[in-house]
Amino acid sequence: MAKTLGIEALTTEFLAFLRDQKRYSPHTLRNYQAGLARFQDFLQDHRHGPLNLETLSQLAMRDFRAFLSFRKGDDVSAASLRLDLSALKSFFKYLAKNHNLSNTALAAIRAPKRAQRLPRPIAHHDIEALMDVAQTSKSKHKWQKQRDIALFTLLYGAGLRISEALGFCWQDDFTADAITITGKGNKQRIVPLLPVVRQAISAYRIALSEDRRARIFPEIWHNEKNTGAKPPLFFSVRGKALAPRQAQQAMEKYRVRLGLPDSATPHALRHSFATQLLAKGGDLRAVQELLGHTSLAATQRYTKIDAEALMTSYKNAHPRARSA
């Protein structure tokens, strides 16, 4: 009976496990769901008969390679292929543990090599200019620009991912010298809070509380949810939890005024945090802990930025380098 379980039911069960037990982010869940849906569509044309646990156990290496070739035909990037393969491997690993699926073919498939692309941090003086533009910008809601400053200061001052910053609650305590962050894979780390970060968040909270309409946002949000969930720290002008895209749009508004490149995003503030710490002699392992990187190699990418900048300066400044 178990072998006749359909792939739709198995996928739904797997995604629920990632959401409820593994606490995967909504973004990752959407990507995994899309990747598994593509695989199911491919199998419907690639194999005949019902798609169930028994079908999945019979798949060979050539079937998985055929799927990746099919995806390459859509001219997708290596990153997209890696993501699809990651979703499949997690899915089959789950089925092996929970439904006794026996299929080792997928484990032998290697992911396409990821293109080595260095992070693109924002220079410190440009970040200062961004803060100045935000502070002096005309806004219908005074608290809105204070929110943007608080968010950008938090990202830059603590090196957070945007999802981590937007995951804070209104009741969270930002008066201490450090705060606990829950990052990828539900892993926790402690990150120091600079006085400038604490001050920016305090200024935002005061500004929102002084607005006769906005000050009731936390209460409205809590009452609407009715699930015991806490109101978010960062609100949109409609009183909803601020979304990552809205944070990106806020940054776009300010960077356009300064003529900064498209790479000047909220996430680039995290790159700036790491790059500048390492440039000032910060310990690589310590920076790895602050960023919440599982792999030291992910942190080492930032040292390459400094080396690349050094070589560029050398080539531009050294009199013999120009004729080389």
CATH code assigned at 231: 1.10.443.10
Check pLDDT > 90 for residue 15. Answer: yes
CA–CA distance, 208 with 170 (Å, rounded to integer): 11
The structural domain count of the chain equals 2
Beta strands in the chain (DSSP E): 178-182, 188-192
Is 245 among the residues known to form the active site? Answer: no
Q: What is the structure's pLDDT at 229?
A: 74
Q: Do residues 300 and 163 share a domain?
A: yes
Residues 203 and 233 in one domain: yes
Do 145 and 269 lie in a common domain? yes
Residue 174 confidence (pLDDT): 93
pLDDT tens per residue across span 230-272: 889 999 988 889 999 999 999 999 999 999 989 899 999 999 8
The reply to whether 82 and 148 lie within a common domain is no
Please say if the pLDDT value at position 3 is more than 80: no
Q: Residue 159 and residue 191: Cα distance in Å, rounded?
A: 9
Which listed residue (161, 198, 205, 255) is catalytic? Answer: 161
pLDDT, average across residues 101-106 = 87
Residue 119 within a domain: no
Residues 137 and 215 in one domain: yes
What pTM was estimated for this model as a whole?
A: 0.63
- Is 161 designated active site? yes
Among candidate residues 66, 84, 108, the one where a domain is terminated: 108
Sequence-distant (≥ 6) Cβ neighbours of residue 114 within 8 angstroms: 78, 79, 82
255 touches 107 (CB < 8 A): no
Do 156 and 93 reside in the same domain of the chain? Answer: no
How far apart are the C-alpha atoms of 320 and 324, rounded to whole Å?
7
**Residue 318 pLDDT:** 46
Do residues 59 and 90 share a domain? yes
Predicted confidence at residue 156, as pLDDT, reads: 93
Amino acid found at 121: P
Mark whether 88 and 137 lie in a shared domain: no
Q: Domain ends where: 75, 108, 141? A: 108
Whether residue 248 is found in the same domain as residue 285? yes
Residue 40 φ then ψ, to 5°? -65, -45
Token readout for 256 is 């356009």
Provide the residue range defining the domain that includes 143: 124-314
Identify the burial level of 122 via C-beta atoms within 10 angstroms of its C-beta, where 0-12 means exposed, 13-18 middle and 19 or more buried.
buried
* Max CA distance (Å), the chain: 77
Looking at the structure, tell me whether residues 212 and 268 fall in a common domain.
yes
- Across residues 169-198, what is the average pLDDT? 89
What's the average model confidence in pLDDT over 305-314?
Answer: 57
Confidence at residue 98, expressed as pLDDT on a 0 to 100 scale: 92
| Model pLDDT for residues 112-155, shown as the tens digit of each residue | 776 667 778 888 899 999 999 998 888 778 899 999 999 999 99
Do 173 and 228 share a domain, yes or no?
Answer: yes
Per the structure block, which two tokens stand in for 64?
């998985």
**250/282 same-domain check:** yes
* Given the residues 145, 147, 205, 267, the one annotated as active site: 267
- Taking residues 192-215, what's their average pLDDT? 91
Number of H helices and E strands in the chain, helices first, is 14, 2
**CATH number of the domain residue 74 falls in:** 1.10.150.130
> Which of 53, 81, 108 marks a domain boundary?
108
Q: How confident is the model at residue 224 (pLDDT cuts 50, 70, 90)?
A: low
Which residue out of 32, 94, 254, 302 is catalytically annotated?
A: 302
Average pLDDT across the chain, whole number = 85
Which residue's structure tokens are 């260095």? 118
CA distances from 259 to 16, 138, 214, 302 (A): 44, 18, 32, 24
pLDDT of residue 305: 67
Residue 293 designated active-site:
yes
